[in-house]
Amino acid sequence: MSASSHELTSYRKATIDDAPGMFALRESSILELAPKGMSIPQSVDWASRLTLEAMTQRFSVAEFWVAEMNDSIVGWVGIRGDEIYGLYVNPNCVNRGIGSGLLRLAEEIMLAAGINTVRLDASWNAEAFYVRHGYNPIGPRPPNDTRIFEKTLRPRHD
């Protein structure tokens, strides 16, 4: 999907009917973006760790929000307790503020729920993104795994 800068992104709570599209977006995001920070075999392995059935089952333990442009899902974020439970953006829509908007939305929801410290697992290719958004790594990076990041949330005054 290509999107021009004048297109608006809207956000809404995901439904179980969104699971197939979210699953496909996750897979394409991993396969196209993750090799910037890890090997292609590692990326393929990561993409294959989740099935559509497992994605659907995640709706029972987490809340998901999607970003849409022209009625197409271009990104999604999951929230599970104090954890960002996945954040993915369509590879053709990166660097347009979609991931930042989803992350900000998740943080606002979590803060409103009384959660002050957020955790997430970052893949190698996403670490710089999270650092730019105020997240700090907890401990060293495991050689072949994600790294845990954390951020203390503060109310926005803008």
pTM across the whole model: 0.88
Question: How many domains would you assign to the chain?
Answer: 1
Q: What is the pLDDT along the chain (158 residues), one digit of tens a residue?
A: 444 444 678 999 999 999 999 999 999 999 888 877 777 888 888 888 889 999 999 999 999 999 999 889 999 999 999 999 999 999 999 999 999 999 999 999 999 999 999 999 998 888 999 999 999 999 888 777 788 999 999 877 65
Domain assignment present for residue 1? The answer is no
Domain assignment present for residue 41? The answer is yes
CATH number at residue 144: 3.40.630.30
Q: What is the pLDDT of residue 158?
A: 56
Residue labelled with tokens 């072949």: 144
Per the structure, the complete domain to which residue 17 belongs is given by 10-152
Q: Measured between alpha carbons, how far is residue 156 from residues 64, 87, 105, 112, 153 in Å?
A: 22, 21, 12, 11, 9
Domain assignment present for residue 3? The answer is no
